[in-house]
Structure formats: structure tokens, C-alpha cells
Amino acid sequence: MRTLLLLFGVLVIHPLAQAQTWTECNPMEKTCPNNPAFGTSRNFIFNTSSTVTNSFNITAGALKYGTGNAAFTVSKRGDSPTIQSKFYIMFGSVSVIMKAASGQGIISSIVLQSEDLDEIDWEFLGGNNTHVETNYFGKGNITSFDRAVYHPVSFDPQADFHNYSIHWTSEKLEWWIDSNLIRTLPYAEANGGHNYPQTPATVRLGIWPGGDKANNAGTIDWAGGLTDFSKGPFTMEIQSAQITDFGSGKEYEWTDRSGSWESIKAVPGNSTALKVLLKADEPPPPTVAERFAALPSGTKLAIYCGGGGIMALLLSIAFFTCHRSRRRGRLEREAYDAKMEKERDEIQKDLMEIRAKGFTSRVTGTIQKEESELEKFESTSEYGASPPHASTIQTHPQISISNYDMSTGNPSPEPENTNNSIVQNKSNKQRFPLEV
């Protein structure tokens, strides 16, 4: 990263400069929470969002994921997508396979930074495809600006993917490109070790517009000039990041405010970051088919037999239920037929009585019509339905012979006192009660 002096000046003017360099709590100034340790080694493949979100925080923009990489893109002013690890490493190595973004004023970067502003950098200027930059800072020291080194390369870092590595111990700091060591910083050469990065650091990967017109003149000049956003978007691509923590334990504790590596204590326990990774590595629960396939042959046979028995039981129950329903239905049908036969016999009997007593065709025709309707219903209706005019056929109102004139066959006026007994009317003609 360009000198912290430039960045601090930019912070006052424009918040974009916080893209890679900031601190939440400086342990050299006050008591801060312990730093969660990584305590392991992991190769992060940047082809899915879960790879990032499980172990990194995303700031100032979104990432896009392809088949084998993640794209960090600046499309407009205000964009500076960056990820920061949720864990810290206390000495270690970081190897990132990436392709830098092109574009004047656009900065692609790999940064290790601690809470007291120790910092180790790889930086790629979008307007320079012949050199790459390495840099470092210790405890935010900005008394000199001669720590950055620009290394010539035989390839275009904006056109091809290459492996950019940092190897960091308490004795020395190394920068590598692919398998080539390009820079070494011994501990003593960093102001007697005072400016040597030596406290727990997060890993930050991202892109930001150093050439934004809101930045100060020094930052814009270092970035290679003003950025023309109309020529965007500008994209840095990362395939993977191999991160190894040389420390171990659950957390890193700052035992004093000296900022020296000797003052950092590893708290024993299981790393939270490692737990997250192990959980993410767990295979999904097996499906029912997969669990069945894994069973021994004998167990499968027992399941088949048990399933066959259950099926036989179900079929037996179904057969019994069907048989009982059919039997009950047959009995109900027989009862219904008997009832209808009885009613038909009663109607026939009434009809014979009426004919025997010499009633006219008007009365007998009505009864014959009802008899015909009943026979028609019995021949066409489905079981369980009620016959048409059921109230007429099944319950017949009393028809008194007194209602009819025996000589004419026409209804005659109702007498004042009638009952079901045999009486004489004024014409001395007999009347009989009759149920049809």
C-alpha cells in the first residue's frame, strides 16, 4: 500500500481510501478484544459465494463468481470491493493466484494488516503492466517513504494469472512471484525491527480507485493519474488464496502495548475459524436412497420382507373392508326390495278391492298410473336412490268412497259428519273408507 501518510490524508477527503487500510481498535492505544486465530492452513477456491462469506467480510461492493474465479470490479465512483478475513494469522504465508485490473489510477492489492497498523503489501497499478510493487509498514510509521519497491516483470500481470506470495516469520519477510523470490526484508533492516510487521494480521484482497478525483494530489500521482470511469469497468480476478497461520490456538492476546511479537500470546483452544471451515467441509446428510444403499444385504432383505408383510396386511384389510361393504350393501338391497314388494302387493290388493266394488275408471286409472310409475322406477333406478314421487307412492292418502258419486264417477260434496264407518247419505248410497 502506498505510504500511510497519503492514506491518512485521503481519509479526511474521501472514504474510498479505507478500501484496504483501517483498524477497528489499536491495542497499542487501549485494551482491545483478542484477535481470533486461524490456527490452520487452507486453500480458498474463489468460485462460490460461500467460500468468501464463511471466512471473509465483504466491504464497499459485491463480487461476481465465475467457474473458477471471483471478480472484483470498479464500475463507477464509490466502488472498491474488498474482502477481509474474519481471522488473524501470527506469522505465516499467503499465496494468491490472481490477475490484476487494468485502468489508469486503479489499484489491485493483496494486504496483510494488523490492528496496530503493521502492514505487508502487494500492489498492482492499472496504468503500469511492466512492474509490480511490494511495500511494508510497522506500527503506522510514516517517517519515510522509501520502503516501496517496483519490480520489473517479464509478463503482463493484467493479462495472465500468476501466483503472488508472502512468506512471513519473526526473522524475515519474503515476496515471491510464482516460484521466484523477488524481495527479502530481514527483521533488523526494518529500523532495527521496530518497523518490522510482527503482530497478528488479517488478509485483505481488493481493488480501489486511487485515481479518483476526490483523493489528494499525492495519492492520484502515485496511482498513475486520474481515473476515467467511462472506460470501465475495471476488474481484478482471483482464483484462489492459500493461507497458512504459523501460530496456533483459539485467539491471539496482546499482553502489553509494546506491539512486539514477543508480547503476543496464543490462547489455547479450538479456532473458531477452523470450526467454520470444518463444518463447511462436512458432506450433506445422505438421502434415504443413499442410506438404504449403504445397508448390509441382510438388513435390506429384512426390510423387503417387512415391507411385503405390511403390503399383504394392507391388502387383507382392503379386501375385508370391501367384502363387508358389499355384504352390507346386499342386505340393504334385499331389505329395500322386500319393502317395495310389500308396497306393490298392497297397491295390487287395493286395486282389486276397488275393481270388485265397481269404481269408475277415473279412480282406477289414477292407481294404475301410480303402479306404472313404480314399476318404471324399479326397472331403471340405481341402488340407493329414492323413487320419483316417493311421497305419493309410499304413503297413500285415504280416499273415501263417499267422495265419489257411484253413478257418475264424479266427486260429490263432503258430508258434514264423516268417519271411517259405513253410513247412509241422502240418496241411501253406501260409502266405504279405502286406503290407496
Residues assigned a catalytic role: 119, 123
* DSSP-assigned letter for residue 424: B
Q: Is 122 within 8 Å of 164 (Cβ atoms)?
A: yes
**Amino acid (one-letter) located at 126:** G
CB atoms within 10 A of CB 214: 15
Q: Is 173 within 8 Å of 94 (Cβ atoms)?
A: no
Q: What is the rounded distance in angstroms from the CA atom of residue 231 to the CA atom of residue 104?
A: 9
Burial of 159 (0-12, 13-18, 19+ CB in 10 A): exposed
C-alpha cell at 382: 340405481
Q: Alpha-carbon torsion 412, 413, 415, 420, what sign?
A: positive
Q: Alpha-carbon torsion 297, 298, 300, 304, what sign?
A: positive
Q: Is 294 helix (H, G, I), strand (E, B) or coil?
A: coil
Q: Is 31 helix (H, G, I), strand (E, B) or coil?
A: coil
- Position of cell 506469522? 91
C-alpha cell at 121: 503489501
Q: Alpha-carbon torsion 24, 198, 149, 58, what sign?
A: negative
Q: Is 134 within 8 Å of 183 (Cβ atoms)?
A: yes
CB atoms within 10 A of CB 68: 13
